[in-house]
Homo-oligomer: A and B are copies of this chain.
């Protein structure tokens, strides 16, 4: 264990590093060897947790780091020319955000905590240096960026081709799958975001989102209580999402 990053750690989680982090299998270290993880760990900074509503960075700010979510949940959004908010993504533990800032050296979106959230900060210049030293790291980072492109294109397809029901079903399945990846229940989870955020992300109004939730519940696909969702009939939900037919 190195001492350098220590100064950035809060006392209560000073023991955390990439090596013992239970997210390492799905997060940045995923493709790295033990000794490479140690080098990554050297540059990772772990600050105090973000409170709900606090921003990690804001659109237009100078880009200097990418971030990994350790706990909690983050909402990414940008503001359109006419002042409306566009939610661009939801980020859960093990997921990386901030990469949209690389191209223009400024963040293209804002990132706000939807819950108390612990975050790992990876200064980008040091990440670049490391990528030159470790081709594995470079490759992995290329992959990360490329995967975000593919995901965005999937989302474009969702918005362009799918109905309100298909969109919401897809989001629920996506969140369910991401929970499962972290060894959490694929059937029962709490949505950290508001109905408004969901609608915004899916290109729908609050009212439509609410109606579709009610319809899903009435059909016995899910049961909803406020932000808590239980997927009752996963297969049926998959059929509704239309992703496989």
Chain A residues near B (Cβ < 8 Å):
78, 80-82, 84, 86, 88, 99-104, 108-109, 128, 131-132, 135, 138-139, 141-150, 152-153, 155-157, 159-161, 200, 202-203, 242-245
Contact = CB atoms under 8 A, between A and B. Distances in A.
A243 to B, nearest CB: 5
Main secondary structure of the interface of A (DSSP, over half): helix
B153 A128 contact: no
Contacts of A128: 135, 138-139, 142
A37 B132 CA distance: 19
Contacts of A244: 81
B146 A99 contact: yes
Q: Which of A108, A142, A143 has the most chain B CB atoms inside 10 A of its CB? A: A142
Contact of A153 (B109, B144, B245): B109
B80 A149 contact: no
A147 to B, nearest CB: 4
